[in-house]
């Protein structure tokens, strides 16, 4: 029964919400498309997109479902206002085949006009009716709404899979959910399939097998640019947790049946032991009665004759009493035997039911494995598509050095789409001196940094083009205004050596300093000539250097 306060709260909520439209969010959001080729028809949710007189919050819309869920959790089979929002808890334990279901009705006065809000109502219901966490309820609500759109009006489908207690509440014009918002009010009965273990706090309350069938998943995949991978992973997680619960319940039932079988066997053994003793006692009693009723032969007085008559009468009473007792014992034994037989029959029925549960559990494991395999394949496809899209976007980008401050020489590397103006990526380092940058094909090498009181330094840096966040930094101080030269396989720059400056040769990948020249002017050029390099010393003389080791081959005074 629903308590008075709950009834009053639901009535007030339903009345208030029925008088206002229910947009998708606090602000209008974009239309949502869901397409499926199931049964040869396209499925596309068409939502109302336009002004609303009053905009309700997502939480208040979810509250409609929560009120219905609380009623079902309290034991109601029907609750809510049929003309607005209501629920039918259609369950028949006497029928073993087919699904039970909860059916959420959107009445003529329902004002929900976006599929997101329908999902909020369904999610709120699942939270309160079965104790689902909000995230799990949201996931299930997505699948429930798509499922009901896929099988809209298909009474052949519902009749083959659901119990009569469910199907008698449906019709071709109301079963499931239309794809058009203007056909929801008064013509929508959202079917939520229930498992045999449905109850508060049971993760497996909603049977996830039908709502994740191939047509439903195909529709979800078409709706989502990522093939619904996130939602499908979430529902698989729900399935696995429900399986953990079911397997634990199966093991508990196995133990119960083992105890019951042992108890029946013990009772039968005890009855078998007691039966011979009972028969012997009955026979002994019968013989005693016969002896007592025997009469003496010969003549006797009248008193003796009277005594004989009395003994005969007494013996007859004893025989009658023994017969009654024997009959009672026989009836008691027969009743015990019938009870044992009934328990054995029930035990066999329970064993058969357990075998069916084990078979269903194994099928569920196979279903989950197939789900994971399908998701993994779609993930690979999605990743491949993302890589291709990223590659195409990268191909349209132009690497530029973006000044952090137009009045300072510090910049960061940015890949920019010149048509759209979109910055595809940026480097993390923002003190690159753009005038020094060398394009090495797969990366840029440049001078970066500045000397600061907090430990700043000027060093070589290498930024990979494939990933602007991948940075290699040299360990040697270089002249901030030095040029960089790419000669042969090496990179050259003016490096600091104590209080003086020199030409340094660096590995272009690791930026390791490999050779150092004699002192040079920090403003020197570097020219390649005849396999050697020419720089200018601090006094103005030209220094001819060996390219590899940077030793001085000649000095030309000026």
User: pLDDT tens digits, the chain, 558 residues: what are they?
Assistant: 333 333 333 333 333 333 334 444 433 232 333 333 344 444 678 887 666 666 788 999 999 999 999 999 999 999 999 899 999 999 999 999 999 999 999 999 998 889 999 999 999 999 999 999 999 999 999 999 999 999 999 999 999 999 999 999 999 999 999 999 999 999 999 999 999 999 999 999 999 999 999 999 988 887 776 778 888 889 999 999 988 988 988 999 889 999 988 988 888 888 787 766 555 555 555 555 555 555 444 445 555 555 555 555 665 666 666 667 777 777 777 787 888 888 888 888 889 888 988 888 898 889 899 888 888 888 877 677 666 666 667 677 888 888 888 888 888 888 888 888 888 888 888 889 988 999 999 999 999 988 877 678 899 999 998 888 888 999 999 999 999 999 999 999 999 999 999 999 999 999 999 999 999 999 999 999 989 999 999 999 999 999 999 999 999 988
Of 74, 106, 59, 115, nearest to 87 (Cα)? Answer: 106
Instruction: State the residue for tokens 């017969």.
Output: 323
Q: How far apart are CA 80 and CA 443, in angstroms?
A: 67
Q: How far is CA 197 from CA 27, 62, 100, 280, in A?
A: 40, 25, 11, 52
Q: How far apart are CA 514 and CA 16, in angstroms?
A: 79
Q: How far apart are CA 208 and CA 27, in angstroms?
A: 32
Q: How far is CA 526 from CA 73, 237, 322, in A?
A: 85, 65, 132
- Please check whether residue 413 is in contact with residue 426, taking contact to mean a CB–CB distance below 8 angstroms: yes
Instruction: State the residue for tokens 């919050």.
Output: 57
- The confidence score (pLDDT) of residue 115 equals 94
- The confidence score (pLDDT) of residue 288 equals 56
- Please check whether residue 74 is in contact with residue 40, taking contact to mean a CB–CB distance below 8 angstroms: no
Measured on CA atoms in the order 118, 47, 386, 147, is the torsion positive or negative? positive
Strand pairing of 527-529 and 443-448? unpaired
- Please check whether residue 494 is in contact with residue 503, taking contact to mean a CB–CB distance below 8 angstroms: yes
Q: How far apart are CA 110 and CA 64, in angstroms?
A: 11
Query: Nearest 5°: CA angle at 448, between 444 and 454?
Result: 150
pTM: 0.58
Name, in order, each residue with C-beta under 8 angstroms of 63's C-beta and a sequence gap of 6 or more. Answer: 13, 124
Q: How far apart are CA 26 and CA 246, in angstroms?
A: 40
- The confidence score (pLDDT) of residue 3 equals 37
- The confidence score (pLDDT) of residue 52 equals 65
- Please check whether residue 271 is in contact with residue 341, taking contact to mean a CB–CB distance below 8 angstroms: no
Q: How far apart are CA 336 and CA 357, in angstroms?
A: 31
Q: How far apart are CA 208 and CA 204, in angstroms?
A: 8
Q: How far apart are CA 319 and CA 290, in angstroms?
A: 8
Instruction: State the residue for tokens 């030793």.
Output: 551
Instruction: Give 398's DSSP letter.
Output: E
Helices 134-150 and 214-223, interaxial angle, to 10°? 110
Which alpha helices (H) appear in 168-228, and where do they start and end? Answer: 208-211, 214-223
Query: Nearest 5°: CA angle at 527, between 521 and 529?
Result: 135
Name, in order, each residue with C-beta under 8 angstroms of 432's C-beta and a sequence gap of 6 or more. Answer: 401, 410, 411, 412, 413, 446, 447, 448, 461, 463
State the maximum Cα–Cα separation within the chain, in Å, rounded to a whole number: 178
Query: Does residue 96 sit in helix, strand or coil?
Result: coil
- The confidence score (pLDDT) of residue 293 equals 52
Query: Does residue 492 sit in helix, strand or coil?
Result: strand
- Please check whether residue 449 is in contact with residue 430, taking contact to mean a CB–CB distance below 8 angstroms: no
- The confidence score (pLDDT) of residue 50 equals 65
Q: How far apart are CA 150 and CA 153, in angstroms?
A: 9
Q: How far apart are CA 462 and CA 470, in angstroms?
A: 8
Domains of the chain from N-terminus onward: 4-223 (no CATH), 248-292+309-394 (no CATH), 404-556 (2.130.10.10)
Name, in order, each residue with C-beta under 8 angstroms of 312's C-beta and a sequence gap of 6 or more. Answer: 293, 295
Measured on CA atoms in the order 146, 147, 151, 155, is the torsion positive or negative? negative
Measured on CA atoms in the order 513, 518, 523, 527, is the torsion positive or negative? negative
Q: How far apart are CA 81 and CA 105, in angstroms?
A: 9
């Amino acid at each position: 029964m629903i308590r008075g306060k709950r009834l009053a709260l639901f009535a007030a909520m339903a009345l208030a919400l029925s008088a206002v439209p229910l947009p998708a969010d606090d602000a209008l959001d974009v239309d949502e498309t869901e397409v499926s080729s199931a049964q040869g028809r396209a499925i596309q949710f068409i939502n109302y997109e336009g002004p609303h007189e009053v905009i309700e919050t997502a939480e208040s819309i979810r509250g409609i479902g929560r009120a219905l869920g609380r009623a079902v959790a309290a034991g109601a089979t029907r609750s809510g206002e049929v003309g607005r929002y209501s629920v039918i808890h259609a369950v028949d334990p006497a029928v073993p085949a087919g699904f039970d279901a909860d059916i959420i009705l959107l009445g003529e006065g329902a004002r929900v006009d976006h599929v997101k809000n329908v999902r909020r109502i369904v999610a709120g219901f699942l939270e309160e009716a079965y104790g689902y966490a909000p995230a799990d309820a949201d996931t299930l609500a997505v699948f429930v709404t798509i499922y009901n759109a896929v099988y809209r009006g298909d009474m052949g489908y519902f009749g083959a899979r659901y119990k009569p207690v469910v199907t008698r509440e449906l019709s071709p014009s109301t079963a499931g959910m239309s794809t058009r918002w203007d056909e929801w009010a008064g013509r929508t009965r959202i079917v939520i399939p229930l498992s045999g273990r449905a109850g508060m706090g049971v993760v497996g309350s909603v049977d996830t097998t039908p709502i994740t069938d191939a047509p439903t998943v195909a529709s979800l995949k078409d709706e989502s640019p990522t093939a619904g991978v996130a939602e499908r992973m979430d529902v698989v997680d729900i399935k696995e947790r429900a399986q953990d619960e079911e397997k634990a319940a199966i093991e508990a039932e196995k133990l119960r049946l083992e105890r019951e079988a042992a108890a029946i066997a013990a009772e039968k053994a005890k009855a078998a032991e007691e039966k011979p003793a009972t028969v012997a006692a009955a026979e002994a009693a019968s013989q005693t009665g016969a002896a007592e009723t025997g009469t003496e032969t010969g003549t006797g007085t009248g008193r003796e004759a009277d005594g004989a008559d009395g003994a005969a009468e007494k013996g007859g009473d004893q025989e009658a009493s023994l017969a009654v007792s024997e009959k009672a014992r026989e009836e008691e034994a027969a009743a015990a035997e019938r009870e044992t037989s009934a328990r054995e029959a029930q035990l066999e029925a329970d064993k058969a039911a357990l075998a069916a549960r084990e078979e269903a559990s194994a099928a569920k494991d196979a279903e989950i494995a197939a789900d994971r395999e399908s998701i993994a394949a779609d993930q690979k496809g999605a990743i491949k598509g993302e890589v291709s899209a990223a590659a195409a976007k990268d191909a349209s980008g132009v690497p530029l050095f973006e000044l952090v401050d137009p009045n300072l020489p510090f910049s960061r590397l940015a890949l920019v789409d010149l048509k759209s103006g979109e910055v595809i990526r940026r480097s993390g380092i923002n003190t690159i001196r753009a005038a020094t940058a060398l394009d090495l094909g797969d990366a840029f090498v440049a001078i970066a940094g500045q000397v600061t009181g907090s430990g700043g330094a000027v060093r070589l840096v290498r930024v990979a083009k494939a990933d602007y966040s991948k940075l290699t930094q040299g360990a040697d101080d270089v002249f901030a205004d030095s040029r960089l030269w790419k000669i042969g396989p090496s990179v050259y720059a003016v490096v600091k050596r104590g209080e003086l400056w020199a030409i340094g040769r660096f590995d272009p990948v690791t930026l390791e300093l490999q050779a150092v020249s004699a002192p040079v002017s920090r403003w020197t050029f570097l020219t390649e000539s005849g396999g050697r390099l020419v720089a200018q010393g601090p006094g103005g003389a030209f220094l001819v250097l060996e390219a590899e080791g940077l030793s001085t081959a000649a000095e030309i005074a000026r």
